Amino acid sequence: MRIDINAFFGHWPYWPLPHTSGDDTLRLMDEHGIDHAAITSLRGLHGDWREANAETLALATAHADRMTPIASISPMAGNVDQVLRAAAGAGFRGVRLYPLLLQGYSLQSAFANEVGRVAGELDLLVIVPTRPMMNFRFPTVAVEEIAALADRHPATSFLLSGPNYLSEFNGAIEAMHRCANLAFEVSCMQGFRAMERIVAAAGAERVLFGTGLPLQYPACNVAKLEHAALDTTTRAAVEAGNARRLLGLDSV
């Protein structure tokens, strides 16, 4: 079983993507041995989060055995408590935050803190990337900002996505040592033997496989996982077990 915690479908305003539809995402999953994916419509990053959630839910419902929906949310949403309760009731298992880099709010804002608080009550995973993908055109959100949000909401599970190498990688490890409710998604991490190092430093139960497909080549992260020197138990946790636990996917 392999679960991709960081998958998408849709369009990208910066360049045309070779794969855009839900069927494309399913095809990529099949080609790369990915059994299940936590998915979000890319519309939710820049466009209308309500439409994004509607199409994410529709796709995940149509392929319930292959996909789990992750919601988008915006400061424009108004009543965060109401929006997230409706999302959880509809079947979403997590919510993504794209603060300063794409959506213009701070992780210290009342909005972000309300998401953190309510997500904890609803057992929704909060995914916060430092960057939307590993491309140097995007400014990054500081790992410390994400860790501070996790610190303020210890009852909520957060997933840190986006760090790559050097200071980001080391900062992520320090943040995870400080915040027991912070886990790490690997799709942008490209350093040498980085998988082994993050697992050794943070613990196997806090590292999750992800690809960033279709923004990124899924083959790269599959290779990263398959060639990492991990024992069987650790590999199973990173590949699927941790995602299953954090998303509450008992049946997957």
Partner 1 sequence: MIIDGHAHVGSAQYLQIDMDLAGLLAVADEVGFDRIFVTDLTALFYDMREGNDRFGRLLAGHEDRVLGYVTIPTHRFGVAAADEIRRCVERYGMRGVKMYSHPQSPITETSSTPALEAAAELGLPVLGHFTPDECDVLMQRVPEAMIVMAHMAGQPYALGNWHLAVEVAARHPNLYLDTATSQIDNGMLEYAVEHVGAEKVLFGTDMPLLDPWVQQAKVTGAAIPAEAKQLILGGNVARLLRL
Q: Give residues in contact with partner 1 (CB under 8 A).
A: 15-19, 133-138, 164-166, 188, 190-195, 213-224, 226-227
CB 87 within 8 A of CB 50: no
Q: What's the token pair of residue 143? A: 């790992």
**Residue 73 beta carbon to partner 1: minimum distance, rounded to whole angstroms:** 26
CB of 85 to partner 1, least distance (A): 35
State CA 102 to chain mean position distance.
Answer: 15
| Shortest reach from residue 220's CB to partner 1, in Å | 4
At its nearest, how many Å lie between partner 1 and the CB of residue 99?
A: 20
89 three-state secondary structure = helix
- The SS3 assignment for 168 reads helix
16 preceded by a cis bond (ω within 30 of 0): no
Of 216 and 242, CB closest to partner 1 = 216
**Shorter beta-carbon distance to partner 1: residue 34 or 126:** 34
Which residue's CB is nearer to partner 1, number 125 or number 228?
228
How far is 93 from 49, CA to CA, in rounded Å?
16
Cβ proximity to partner 1: between 109 and 170 the closer is 170
Q: Which is nearer to partner 1, 16 or 89 (CB)?
A: 16
Decide whether 118 or 195 has the Cβ nearer to partner 1. Answer: 195
Report, in Å, the least distance between residue 26 CB and partner 1.
Answer: 15
Strands 36-41 and 67-72 come out as parallel
Long-range contacts from 152-155, C-beta under 8 angstroms, 24+ separation: 152/113, 152/116, 153/113, 153/116, 153/117, 153/119, 153/120, 153/181, 154/179, 154/180, 154/181, 155/120, 155/121, 155/181
Query: How far is Cα 113 from Cα 56, in angstroms, rounded to an integer?
Result: 24
3-class DSSP assignment, residue 184: strand
Pick the closer one to partner 1 by CB: 68 or 164.
164
Question: Residue 164 Cβ, how far from partner 1 at the closest point, in Å?
Answer: 5
Dmax over CA atoms of the chain, in Å, equals 46
Q: Tell the smallest beta-carbon distance from residue 170 to partner 1 (Å).
A: 8
